[in-house]
Amino acid sequence: MTKINWNKELVNHINKELAKGKNFPEIAKQLKHETGIKYNKDDVRLGYQRHTNWIEDAETVKPVAKQALETAFKNVAKAMDSINESKNTVTADNIDTTQPIEFKKLANGDYSSSRTLNLSDDELKDEATLLKLHGYDPNAFEIRTASNSRNERETNKGTKHSYNSRITVKPKTQLSTTDIMQQMWEHVEPIHIQKHSLSSVSDTLVIPLYDLHFGIANIETMKESLTNLISLVNKGYKEIVIISGGDIIHSDKITKSETAKGTQLDAVDMKQAIKDARQFYDVLFQESLKNANIVRHYSITGNHDRDSGYLLNLLLEAQYPQIEHHVGDYRQAFVLGDTSIMLMHGDLATRNAPLLFAQEYRGIWNSTKHHQIISGHFHYDKTTEVMGVELIQVGTNKPNDPYETANGYIGNNKQLTAITYNTSRMTQRNYL
């Protein structure tokens, strides 16, 4: 460190430059130009902090790098408002107001701050108190690291001790199930669908909805397919069966974008994703109830929305009690006349799916002539047959996400599927 002859004139000069809005690096550069002595920002900052009792007829200025300060205060503004209203208000009794406070945003997204505190040892161990004194809401942030070093200084009132306190924090990311359900229950504005006629009518209409990925998709990208689907629904049926086959929502988390296994995804607005999913199902359920004697809803979860999809399906069950709901997890099965259908997402247990069908649902399997397995997961249409079991893999109409684009998975047809059945078997597939 450069040897500097500290005196009152130098300390007051630095304080005046700080009052003009300059930071320590800028002042160090200016002093070097004025005196020819090689100052650096640490020389200026440490010397200034140690001799603030020399400041005359003015309060010390609290310096913070402009860009870092703006970024930090945007992220903690709400926290500061909460602190000002709390019982443990930040006052001069526990903060040394003659010392500067510094905020930094780190490369990994955490925040770092340091300031001089007048606290007891017990108070330093209280994370909530420490967060508040550094300007963070304990409900919104958590401490990653903390260090507190004791120091003493002479004042005109005698010797005082304080702590140089430095912490790094990160925003809390987990929301409770109650928070998620509250978001799902929020009111969404209705949308209007233009109806037009299609030429297919059958006893039962099955609508397999797989891999919609709301968050990547939105109500606008879905609108053409949804319009065609509602036009088909309005032909009128004895029964409509709606299948929620997993990955309806892109992320399993609300505050960050992750699959159920923790795989990082491209960032999406999960609150908007939930609203778009709600709008989509509201239209489909309401129109189905108008145009069928019976409406059933079978749901399973996918690898992206193991928890968030399950909660959405529970919400739909509560919101539409007039529909016959079957909320499940990995697989479900049901019967349409002479045809039995098993549902699976397509990411698990696919190698021996026909044998799995026959073992898990023996009663259904033995009572029907035709057997189908409907799955998704791979985002494109494919139909095969294994020993008389028809394996129907349906696609999706969602836009390509950055992962698919980077890996070249861009060739699938963007469409939804609806399948019509008579009392015997499947009669027609509709691409919407």
Residue 366 phi, psi (nearest 5): -75, -20
How many whole angstroms separate alpha carbon 167 and alpha carbon 145? 6
pLDDT tens digit string along 369-400?
999 999 999 999 999 999 999 999 999 998 88
- Model confidence pTM above 0.75: no
- Which regions in the chain score pLDDT beneath 50? 64-73, 76-77, 79-89, 92, 197-200
Give pLDDT, residue 80.
Answer: 44
Query: What 3-state DSSP class applies to 418?
Result: strand
Give pLDDT, residue 66.
Answer: 45
E-state strands within 54-140: 102-105, 111-117
Give pLDDT, residue 69.
Answer: 44
Q: Is the dihedral of CA 236, 242, 247, 250 positive or negative?
A: positive
How many whole angstroms separate alpha carbon 418 and alpha carbon 232? 9
- Tokens linked to 283: 């239209």
Residue 207 phi, psi (nearest 5): -120, 95
How many whole angstroms separate alpha carbon 113 and alpha carbon 397? 47
Chain center to CA of 116: 35
Give pLDDT, residue 134.
Answer: 81
How many whole angstroms separate alpha carbon 399 and alpha carbon 329? 26
How many whole angstroms separate alpha carbon 202 and alpha carbon 216? 33
Ramachandran quadrant class, 119 (left: phi over 0; alpha: psi -120 to 50; beta: rest): beta
Give pLDDT, residue 73.
Answer: 45
- Tokens linked to 304: 């992206």
DSSP secondary structure code for residue 206 in this structure: E
**Beta-carbon count within 10 A of 184 CB:** 21
